Amino acid sequence: MGKTVGIIGAGAWGTALASALAREGNDVVLWARNERVADEINRGHTNSRYLPGFPLAESLRATTDCAEAAGGKEFVLVASPSLYLASTVAQLRAVPSVQDGRACIGALTKGFVDSPDGPKLILETMEALLPRCYEKNLVYIAGPSHAEEVATGKLTGLVAASENPKNSIRFRELLCVKGIMAYSSFDVVGVQICAAAKNVIAVVFGSLDALSETSAFFGDNAASFLLAGGLNEIQTLGFALGATHPETFTSIAGVGDLDVTCRSKYGRNRRFGRDLILRGVLSRFSGIDDLIARIGELGYLPEGVVACKFIRQIADRRRLRLPICDGLYRILNKEITPGDFLQQVASAL
């Protein structure tokens, strides 16, 4: 028997997963900020703004009313970008089935969220905003899962991580639809760090990819070198923040998600890295803060830009050596060029 599901956020990933769940007979309502997006999903069963070219399940419904999408649902999945996570989750507090803890809540958002005490992880941020009954009961979902392939039913692996084993299993069972294999994890911190930090490495990887088209110095060997070095930095960051399982970094949440984010043609962070080289997109921004404030001007959202700033803050506080992440920060802050950095990092790794 199908489940009732509310997905909060009609970006590419939220839309693709909503459609995949709806095709399996679940009653799915998708919340969109934009009324045109919601109308198009309801009338044409497409989302040309965020997932163009992919037909959606006809049973999928969309709304601009967050309470309607989440109210009375057995499962609620938050798919808002990290920049808007706090304001989005705050809207859920007024939903009766959230107030009393009936809804099982999961997060698809990748990255960190700013706070007066420094960068916070996604679930940490959500716990502070939701009723206390959700403390240690939220579920974080990640894995190598580009929306474009999920939308067409191509094989995808996901991890549902939670400190509550029952909730992890509930989401794992919900997500095991056609084309998706889901697994449970108790390493909530490790899975969140993998999902956030891999976007930073993917930006650098995209820059390297673009440079390799014109430079005899960079090739496939350098790409794998960078991938391995990036995984080391993700693991260093993860253990510093409380990751509990080494295998998190060598499984689909770690190396799997990192590899697809760096290499896939669908990756927005990889695309941004290439745009740094091929289109000179930094020329209109004064530095990383200006870039984040005006990131909508890019026409797409590379989460690695925001995560890069927060990882720099965490690394400074904890005295972590993360040369790739630090290098991207300096690139985006216009302190160094991508080409110079990549040659420097090759000798530092």
Cα separation, 162 vs 292, whole angstroms: 30
* Interval 53-104: pLDDT, tens: 999 999 999 999 999 999 999 999 999 999 999 999 999 999 999 999 999 9
Cα separation, 275 vs 210, whole angstroms: 8
The predicted structure's pLDDT at residue 349: 55
- Which residues participate in catalysis according to the annotation? 198
Do residues 110 and 16 make contact, with C-beta atoms less than 8 angstroms apart? no
Q: Do domains 4-186 and 196-348 have the same CATH topology?
A: no
Cα separation, 187 vs 249, whole angstroms: 10
The predicted structure's pLDDT at residue 345: 67
Which residue in this structure is represented by tokens 């803050």?
A: 313
May I ask the CATH architecture of the domain 196-348? Orthogonal Bundle (1.10)
* Interval 234-279: pLDDT, tens: 999 999 999 999 999 999 999 999 999 999 999 999 999 999 999 9
Report the pLDDT averaged over residues 31-35. 97
The one-letter code for the residue type at 266 is Y
**Residue count of the chain:** 349
What stretches of 26-145 show up as alpha helix (H) in DSSP? Answer: 35-44, 66-70, 85-92, 96-99, 122-129
Cα separation, 257 vs 196, whole angstroms: 10
The rounded mean pLDDT for the chain is 96
The predicted structure's pLDDT at residue 348: 58
Dihedral angle of Cα 110, 115, 119, 122, to the nearest 10 degrees:
-30
Do residues 55 and 23 make contact, with C-beta atoms less than 8 angstroms apart? no
Cα separation, 175 vs 5, whole angstroms: 11
Provide CATH code, domain 4-186: 3.40.50.720
* Interval 183-236: pLDDT, tens: 999 999 999 999 999 999 999 999 999 999 988 888 999 999 999 999 999 999
Do residues 13 and 50 make contact, with C-beta atoms less than 8 angstroms apart? no
φ/ψ of 45, rounded to 5, equals 55, 40
**Residue 191: both structure tokens together:** 């899975």
**Residue 301: both structure tokens together:** 């959202």
Which residue in this structure is represented by tokens 């009766």?
A: 96
Domain definitions of the chain by residue range: 4-186, 196-348
Which residue in this structure is represented by tokens 């999408």?
A: 69
Cα separation, 9 vs 87, whole angstroms: 12
* Interval 278-303: pLDDT, tens: 999 999 999 999 999 999 999 999 99
